[in-house]
Amino acid sequence: MSKTIVEKVGDVKIYGTGLLGGKGEGLVKINECYIPGAHKLRTRVLTTEFYDHYLNNGGQFGNEELETISSILEKLENIPISVRSSATNEACLTPDSPGSVHAGENTSFMLPNNHPEFSVRLQQLIQSIYFIYKDFTQNQPINGNEKMAIVINPIPGIYDETLAGSVYYPLISGVANSFFPYALKAQNPKDGFARIAFGHGYSTVIDDFEVISMATIKEPIPFNLLGDGQMYFYAINLSKNDSLVGHELETMKKLHARFSTSNFINLLGKNKERISFEKLIKENRFGFKSGLLEIMDTIAKNISAHFQIEFVFNVEKNNGDDVGRFHVVQLTQLPEQKFEKIQIPDQAKHTYLSVKNIQGHGIKNNLRQVIVVSPFIYTKEKHDSVRSKIAAMNRELKEKNEDYILIVPGRLGSNNREWGIQLEFREVDRAAAIFEYGVDVAGRAEPIKDENTLTGGIYGSHFLYMLQGGDDEEQKRLQTRIYGTQGTHFLTNLVSNNVVYGFITPNEDLFDPWFFKAPNSSDAVYLLTFPEEVNIYADTNNQNCVVVAEY
């Protein structure tokens, strides 16, 4: 292969003559842009040329590729490093490449990189790259033409000798979007929103415990409405430093916040044993809120008006003072959200569904299929089989080039099975619309968290954990419980690909019980065909969505 090495602004080095993939392209743009509030992140990119050589060499590297990777690791030394997938279809949207966004669908690894023997550290790095390639190849469609690059970065963070063992993590990780469609009247949607967490960034982009949502960044929602705070955090387990078996989170540790010995927790804001971030945000400690706003404004003016970033924030000593330091670790350019006026029909031949809590905007025509998970039959014990069947149905309809509607017990895509069905966006990527419901939609007398509120039953809902917009009842909206799921990979993909996403409130919305008439009394998930074609009208501006058969 070519020994071409391209050096970019901000200590970015590109190895090979191939493509950089989504993360690689995004980090090059970030490093080439002067952002006063952010420090440059050392970045090494193995282009798709390495992937081609891996495939052509029977699933392994040749000596030249191995020597290149070894030289990279030597110069990065022994700080923990991230080894991240950077697929060509993953996270970079430009006017010249108007494809869909597929964030977080590929494996990445966070390596301790602290073994005393360099050969062991090198072998773990090579293993991680092979596992990324293998996972990516296995999930590609037949005759797919996407490729994989690799991004290697040191991880800015802190070492912590906890009672649970030695770990490493950024003080704060976050994901932030440039636009927040659910802003209150006192807020500007263009101020964007952020989802932040103590510890490693897995806390913010996967959905398995509560973290804090800044909605919006400039004028965050009052803290007494944000919940109790963050109880758990992710950190790199520094003892997992010799080999890998191929699971993305195998080098990570999930710990209760009480195990952290960081002296900064009280300065961030604490509510009993939970981290609230109230002091950090409300008092702009270490310049966090103002710094994040400056980063977002700079990117909007110089790179893209519609984007998502992932970032880390640490506090360091500078001339005896504690100073905050940002690093932007990922940039995803997003399609511009357009909200043209939607004329919903005054009359229809039949209305199958009408809901008031939605994301997504526009009209989707000529749908015939709907996949339904039964509220009468589904239980968490059926989770794995239901997930497999949904993915199989999605593949079959994709092969037929046919879109569909999906109706599920809510909080789809969550890693917490108490909240819903765990799956990836690519397993439902042919869905034109997804509607959540709680067990209470079927009138089942099961326990719910808030006894006086029908808000999704025991399965929860994405809409239970985000601002619900679209009406003038500001006080009612302020009382919505907010833990913030926006910013997770799953919801980013839904929003970026304009999948209509709604929540069925049983005592307010209209839904046809026909959806829950299973062809077989034992099927927890099934495919139904509408008697006639239906259209979806989704109006985000007025929070109104209908599924109708028209005259």
> 230-234, 278-282, 283-287, 411-415: lowest mean pLDDT where?
411-415
Average pLDDT in the 8-23 region? 92
Q: Quick check: helix, strand or coil at residue 79?
A: coil
The pLDDT, as a whole number, for residue 473 is: 46
Report the 3 state secondary structure along 182-199.
Answer: CCCCCCCHHHCEEEEEEC
The dihedral region occupied by 8, where left means phi > 0, alpha psi between -120 and 50, and beta the remainder, is: beta
φ, ψ (nearest 5 deg) of residue 5? -125, 120
Q: Where do we find the tokens 């282009």?
A: 47
CATH classification (class only), 1-155? alpha beta
Q: Supply the pTM of this predicted model.
A: 0.85
Q: How would you classify the pairing of strands 38-39 and 321-333?
A: parallel
Average pLDDT in the 65-94 region? 88
Report the 3 state secondary structure along 300-320.
Answer: HHHCCCCEEEEEEEEEEEECC
Where exactly are the structural domains of the chain? Answer: 1-155, 158-337, 350-549
CB 409 within 8 A of CB 373: yes
Helix axes 118-138, 63-76, angle to 10 degrees: 120
Radius of gyration of the chain (CA): 23
The pLDDT, as a whole number, for residue 34 is: 92
Question: ∠ CA 122-125-129 to the nearest 5 degrees?
Answer: 140
Q: How would you classify the pairing of strands 500-503 and 431-437?
A: parallel
> How far is CA 49 from each of CA 1, 3, 21, 55, 104, rounded to the nearest angstrom?
8, 11, 11, 10, 22
Helix runs in 186-323, H state only: 202-205, 265-268, 278-282, 288-302
φ, ψ (nearest 5 deg) of residue 347? -135, 150
Nearest one of 133, 115, 135 to 124, comparing CA atoms? 115
Q: Quick check: helix, strand or coil at residue 452?
A: coil
Q: Residue 264 corresponds to which amino acid?
A: F
Kindly give, in sequence order, each residue whose CB lies less than 8 Å from that of residue 299, ignoring residues fewer than 6 positions away: 30, 33, 35, 178, 307, 309, 331
CB 212 within 8 A of CB 197: yes
Long-range CB pairs of 27-33 (<8 Å, 24+ gap) are 27/151, 27/153, 27/329, 27/330, 27/331, 29/303, 29/331, 30/299, 30/303, 30/309, 30/328, 30/331, 32/8, 33/298, 33/299, 33/302, 33/303
Nearest one of 438, 420, 412 to 382, comparing CA atoms? 420
Question: Does residue 492 have a pLDDT over 90?
Answer: no
Helix and strand numbers, DSSP H then E, in the chain: 11, 27
- pLDDT digit string (tens) for 34-66? 998 899 999 999 999 999 999 999 999 999 999
- pLDDT digit string (tens) for 334-383? 887 777 899 999 899 999 999 988 888 999 999 999 999 998 888 888 99
CB 214 within 8 A of CB 222: no
The pLDDT, as a whole number, for residue 477 is: 47
- pLDDT digit string (tens) for 298-332? 999 999 988 999 999 999 888 878 899 999 999 98
The pLDDT, as a whole number, for residue 441 is: 78
